[in-house]
Amino acid sequence: MIDNNVPTERSGETPCPKGKIERFIEPCLLLLLAEKSAHGYELMDNLEQFGFDPRCQDPGQIYRYLRRMETEGLVESAWESGDSGPARRSYQITGDGLSLLASWMKTLEKRITIINKLITRYQQTIQKGDV
Amino acid sequence: MIDNNVPTERSGETPCPKGKIERFIEPCLLLLLAEKSAHGYELMDNLEQFGFDPRCQDPGQIYRYLRRMETEGLVESAWESGDSGPARRSYQITGDGLSLLASWMKTLEKRITIINKLITRYQQTIQKGDV
DNA sequence: ATATAGTATATGTTATTTACACATAGGTGA
DNA sequence: TCACCTATGTGTAAATAACATATACTATAT
């Protein structure tokens, strides 16, 4: 799902590090819906901006997330029989969705702090000779 | 495994966002071992600095990772019958381990860029009124 | 008319990763 | 000898992500 143009593939063994964040699609969807209401297919394209594959090979995941988020009251949907193409389920974010998005932001800020600490220490370490 | 003093628990439903990075323990272990050789129990304590639980409730995970990393040639181990307590398996990082660590760092830098984009857009959005 | 392609939504199943629970064992001090 | 800390591990369940497939509407070209 995530763009992984990372160095050499390691055969058979553990895959190359992708650094994916657990459930990261959730805050991305919430933010896009906070910006403006949209349907799944549209969201799929916009997720590209957050490192997800363009023309993602797993549309199912997005739809599944959206349906679950609705059962949890984070978003609400309504069918829109558009002028062209099949009907769309249009989603809009709720108050609960907005607060969850806010708590995601706090979480992600903490995560950045931790990653930065790791990077800083790494740079210090390699400067001390370890190549 | 990760410190999650995040807002309100959401009952039954999806857990609070923890923002955990997939396999994040791996670069942490590699960095600690790049700094200096160590055994599992010692590493457990030092992982606290990267947001893992102090006196982690799953020591098994760390040992499992270390053993796998050895089969992949990222680290090497040797038993050390210390002067006190049970024997320890002391790990040291290899050349392959160092290069994987380097590629982890690149991956994490990209990840930070993406998270920052998300945060920036979030702040722009809430400023435009959406509470 | 029908075949193809693009839009749009969804489910079924497997694989990967993490979390929880438990087992083992040496050494130290009460 | 009993409890506790150090130290290393395995077994299994739960959560998450990945892969594969199904359906259906519509527009355009053949």
Q: Do B101 and A115 touch (CB under 8 A)?
A: no
- Among candidates A20, A108, A119 on the partner chain, residue whose Cβ is nearest the Cβ of B118: A108
Please give the residue range of the domain that contains residue B62. 25-130
**Are A103 and B68 a contacting pair at CB < 8 A?**
no
**Between B6 and A121, residue with greater pLDDT:** A121
Domain containing residue A60: CATH number: 1.10.10.10
Contacts with A114 from chain B: Cβ below 8 Å: 50-51
The pLDDT value recorded for residue A121 is: 98
Binary contact (A118, B68; C-beta < 8 A): no
Total of domains in chain B: 1
Contacts 24+ apart (CB under 8 A), B109-113: B109/A119, B110/A19, B110/A51, B111/A19, B111/A21, B111/A51, B111/A115, B111/B21, B112/A112, B112/A115, B112/A116
pLDDT mean across residues, chain A: 88
Residue of B nearest to A131 (CA): B98
- Residues of chain B contacting A16 with CB distance shorter than 8 Å: 103, 107
Of the candidates A72, A109, A131, which has its C-beta nearest B98's C-beta? A131
A77 found inside a domain: yes
Inside any domain, residue A43: yes
> Is the pLDDT confidence value at B4 over 60?
no
Is position A60 within any domain?
yes
- pLDDT at residue B94 tops 90: yes
ipTM: 0.89
Could you tell me if residue B12 is inside a domain? Answer: no
pLDDT, tens digit (0-9, with 9 covering 90-100), for A48-101: 999 998 767 799 999 999 999 999 999 999 999 877 889 999 999 999 999 999
Is B1 domain-assigned? no
* Distance between CA atoms of residues A65 and B98, nearest Å: 37
* Local confidence band at A120 (pLDDT 50, 70, 90 cut-offs): very high
Distance A129 CA to D14 C1' (A): 43
Question: Do the domain assignments include residue B9?
Answer: no
Residue B7 pLDDT level (bands cut at 50, 70, 90): very low
In a domain, B10, yes or no: no
